[in-house]
Every structure is written in structure tokens, then in C-alpha cells.
Chain A
Amino acid sequence: KNEVEQSPQNLTAQEGEFITINCSYSVGISTLHWLQQHPGGGIVSLFMLSSGKKKHGRLIATINIQEKHSSLHITASHPRDSAVYICAVRPVQGAQKLVFGQGTRLTINP
């Protein structure tokens, strides 16, 4: 079993829909990261969380440390949000070593 599991693996939605991507992990962590990867490969770090909730524009990320679960929400989705979203955790043991989920491929249709 992977240390980091994401669901769903693929998600297709219509423009304007509310999107939720889930991430569950099995190890103790210091931080959890949400990353966005567009076609072509470049990765952008969206959020780094250790507790609670963060918001940036239409993106919201939450984490529940006790349940070892995080969610990434996108409100009023837009075709430009189409990308692969990757959850990564930094285990308490392992310093800078990020452990990644397999990613969620999001497609927003106009």
C-alpha cells in the first residue's frame, strides 16, 4: 500500500463546478503539500499545510492530522484549472524527502 493515496485518479467536470480532490496518508508527517503539474511537466507548489486550512484565490486546502487526510477544493472551476494535482507529504522521519501520491488528473470542460 502506498504511503500517500489520492482519489479520484481522474476527474472530469464542467466549468463552474466545485471540485474536491482527496489525499490520505499513513505516516506521521511534518507537512503536506499540494502541487499542480500542467502538460509539459512544470510543477507549481500550491499549498504547504501542517494544520487547519489555507485559501488562495479559488483554491482551498484543508488537513485533518488526526484522520491523516487532506482535501483540495477548487471553487468556480475553469478550463485553465485542468492539470494534474499531486499530494505530497514530508514524513516526520526523512527531513527533506517528499513522498508523493500518484496524482489526480483534472479536466474542466467549457
Chain B
Amino acid sequence: KAGVTQTPRYLIKTRGQQVTLSCSPISGHRSVSWYQQTPGQGLQFLFEYFSETQRNKGNFPGRFSGRQFSNSRSEMNVSTLELGDSALYLCASSPTQLAGQETQYFGPGTRLLVL
């Protein structure tokens, strides 16, 4: 099976712009989670989707949003970009919604630079 794919892999934006990142989970996986990784804060949970429903959301401002489509592909959007949004954004998928009982499979990440 193909792994988790994320597009684009690299992105440069300027402050105030918005950005949309895409994640395609492993075929058959229905749960997708998003994480932000920065040198200062490390890895932090953004949100998690299962069957097109957001089940959990981390402590991020409303500028960060996401959605999941019927084919389990997911997108996250960041509006009004700030310099501090520069980070590696990782997506991970797992087969079902068995809370806490499944291994997650990570994509390669999208590296976002905000100038």
C-alpha cells in the first residue's frame, strides 16, 4: 500500500496570506490527525478527523481549520498567516476510531515558511 502523502512538500508564503495543505491517508484508513512541529514547541496536536467529523481539536487559534472528505482525504487551512506559523505540518492516519489503540502512520510533512 502507498503511504500517507502530503502536498505540497514545501511552501513559502507571506504574512497575512492563507494556505491550504492536503493529506491523503493510507488506503482504507479513515482517521486523519494533523500536527504542527516547531523548534520551540516541538510536536503539537492540531486536530483529528474521522468519517468527515472533527473529533478532537488542539489548543490553536481559530485561524487553523480543517476538513475531511468522503474519501478520507483531509485538508487543513491556515488563514491570516503569522511568522510563528512557520513549521513542519505533519499528517498521520490510522484505520479506525479505536481511541488510543492504534498505531498512526505519518506522512513526510509539509514545511511551511512564512516571510
Proximity bits, B29-60, A CB within 8 Å = 1, else 0:
00101010100001111001010000110100
A45 in contact with B101 (CB, 8 Å): no
In the complex, what distance in Å separates the CA atom of A44 from the CA atom of B3?
A: 11
In the complex, B99 has a CB within 8 A of chain A: yes
A45 in contact with B43 (CB, 8 Å): no
Closest to B107 in A: A42
Residues from chain B with Cβ under 8 Å of A95 in the complex: 48, 55-56, 97, 99-100
On chain A, the number of residues with a Cβ less than 8 Å from chain B's Cβ atoms is: 26
* In the complex with contacts A43-B90, A45-B103, A94-B56, A100-B42 CB distance below 8 A: yes
On chain B, the number of residues with a Cβ less than 8 Å from chain A's Cβ atoms is: 29
B109 in contact with A41 (CB, 8 Å): yes
A88 in contact with B43 (CB, 8 Å): yes
Which A positions have Cβ atoms within 8 angstroms of B?
A: 29-31, 33, 35, 40-45, 48, 86, 88, 90, 92, 94-103
Which B positions have Cβ atoms within 8 angstroms of A?
A: 31, 33, 35, 37, 42-45, 48, 50, 55-56, 58, 88, 90, 92, 94, 97, 99-106, 108-109, 111
Q: Beyond the given A31-B101, A96-B97, A98-B45, could you list 13 further A-B residue pairs with CB under 8 A, ordered by the A residue number? A: A30-B100, A35-B106, A43-B106, A45-B103, A86-B42, A95-B97, A96-B31, A96-B94, A97-B48, A97-B58, A98-B33, A102-B42, A103-B42
